[in-house]
Amino acid sequence: MRTILDNITGEARRGELVAILGSSGAGKSTLLNCLSGRLNTGTLTGSITFAGRRRERSTWKSVSAFVEQDDALYPNMTVRETLRTAAYLRLPSSRYTRDEKNAQAEAIIKSLRLTKAADTRIGDGLKRGVSGGERKRAAIGQELVGSPDVLFLDEPTSGLDSNSAYAVIENVRSEAVRTGRVVVLTIHQPSIEVLYLFSKVVLLSEGATVFFGPPDDALAHFEQLGLPCPPKRNPADFFLDILTIDHDLESEPARIRALHDAYRGLEKERKLESGAFSGEIEDVDVFDAREEPLGGWANSWWEETGILYRRAWTEIFRNRPLIIAEFAQTIIVMLVMGLAFLRLDNDTRGIQNRAGILFFWPINQVSL
């Protein structure tokens, strides 16, 4: 049996932005899925605690949110409509009125600096809409309207230029500090400006931790190991060079094991200095206790169905090429079928033909 993650430990406190860094195949996405409760395969051992208690799957989705790497947004909806729809779905009507849900969406628009793009459609590859950075912030805003205590982001800067990437991470960090939210994200190769927005970094290699802590402490740790960061070098690139293993070299596995052992030794020293060492390093995430989250769905089945129905119809009616194509297709099929079955005789063959068209027409409509 293959071990993908091994002896991962750490903590995240409110208002902190924690980044998971590593080369491809290091286990970044697997660790993020473990923490977010999205891991559906394999065997997971250890403990993940929230607010001083073991994480409960029944309520975890009520206090956490996950933003996918690929944004799933409706291209014909505006940013404001997108966030309002998310607020209608995520905020319980038993606690919030419709006006309060709208106000929550407006607050997120303002905090993520989306005011200028609020009434712009999202757009897609065929239709021009918001910019890449604004699209990513809208996707993040969809999750923030539910006021999650913990926010997970999978490669939030993927496909963005350096300025847009910095704007996205800076907005997320400001929101985390303002609300006391914990943010955990994976990122591949951040710029130096983005790197120093992170409170802590988790450096992974071959599924194990090479370092966990502030970026400057990571540089000091590697310098003590005889691996100083060259001048004028982006520390993030320096970290990736250390973490990347060349499987063609026989010495590489031993080098990575030495880095793992060095961090375990540092971790034990930290525990001894804090007086918390008990012979075993535990995986404990420390959070301040807050109001007990609600379990179950935020709104009734009928209410959510109505919200989704309105969103679907808005998307369809704004897609004029699709409406024209569907209408033209219906007219063409109607004419073809009408001509094919024109002037049927009132005999056995005519009855069979009429039965055929009564069967074919509903099947054709369903498949459109």
Both 93 and 226 in a single domain? yes
Both 223 and 352 in a single domain? no
What pLDDT, on the 0 to 100 scale, is given for residue 15?
A: 92
Using CA atoms, how far apart are residues 74 and 253, in angstroms rounded to an integer?
46
Least reliable range by pLDDT among 16-20, 69-73, 194-198: 69-73
What pLDDT, on the 0 to 100 scale, is given for residue 354?
A: 77
Cα 179 to Cα 108, 174, 214, 287: the distances in Å are: 11, 9, 21, 13
**For the residues 340-353, what does the mean pLDDT come to?**
77
Total domains present in the chain: 2
Both 138 and 270 in a single domain? yes
Is the separation of the CB atoms in 176 and 143 below 8 Å? no
347 pLDDT more than 90: no
**For the residues 334-348, what does the mean pLDDT come to?**
77
Q: Give the side-chain half-sphere CA count within 13 A for 111.
A: 22
What pLDDT, on the 0 to 100 scale, is given for residue 135?
A: 92
Confidence of residue 58 (pLDDT cuts 50, 70, 90): confident
149 pLDDT more than 70: yes
Confidence of residue 182 (pLDDT cuts 50, 70, 90): very high
What pLDDT, on the 0 to 100 scale, is given for residue 101?
A: 93
Both 328 and 258 in a single domain? no
Both 267 and 324 in a single domain? no
122 pLDDT more than 60: yes
Is residue 279 in some structural domain?
Answer: no
User: HEC states along 202-223?
Assistant: EEEECCEEEEEECHHHHHHHHH
More confidently predicted of 258 and 52: 258
Q: Return mean pLDDT, the chain.
A: 84
Both 261 and 339 in a single domain? no
Using CA atoms, how far apart are residues 210 and 218, in angstroms rounded to an integer?
9
Using CA atoms, how far apart are residues 168 and 147, in angstroms rounded to an integer?
18
Both 134 and 197 in a single domain? yes
353 pLDDT more than 80: no
Both 75 and 159 in a single domain? yes
Is residue 340 in some structural domain?
Answer: yes
More confidently predicted of 3 and 204: 204
**For the residues 353-362, what does the mean pLDDT come to?**
77
Other residues' Cβ atoms within 10 Å of the Cβ of residue 258: 11
**For the residues 252-257, what does the mean pLDDT come to?**
87
116 pLDDT more than 50: yes
**For the residues 200-226, what does the mean pLDDT come to?**
92
Is residue 267 in some structural domain?
Answer: yes
The CATH number for 212's domain is 3.40.50.300
59 pLDDT more than 60: yes
What pLDDT, on the 0 to 100 scale, is given for residue 53?
A: 79
Sorted by sequence, the CB contacts under 8 Å of residue 286 that are 6+ apart come out as: 11, 12, 13, 49, 52
188 pLDDT more than 90: no
What pLDDT, on the 0 to 100 scale, is given for residue 155?
A: 92
Is residue 305 in some structural domain?
Answer: no
pTM for the whole structure = 0.81
Strand partners, 201: 19, 213
Using CA atoms, how far apart are residues 58 and 80, in angstroms rounded to an integer?
31
pLDDT tens string 264-323: 888 888 776 655 433 333 333 333 333 344 455 678 888 899 999 999 999 988 888 888
SS3 74: coil
Using CA atoms, how far apart are residues 274 and 247, in angstroms rounded to an integer?
38
Q: Could you tell me the residue range of the domain that residue 157 belongs to?
A: 17-274
What pLDDT, on the 0 to 100 scale, is given for residue 367?
A: 67
What pLDDT, on the 0 to 100 scale, is given for residue 160?
A: 87
Both 324 and 268 in a single domain? no
Closest CA to 153 of 98, 198, 118, 100: 198
Both 265 and 187 in a single domain? yes
Both 21 and 117 in a single domain? yes
Is residue 291 in some structural domain?
Answer: no
Both 232 and 363 in a single domain? no
Is residue 123 in some structural domain?
Answer: yes
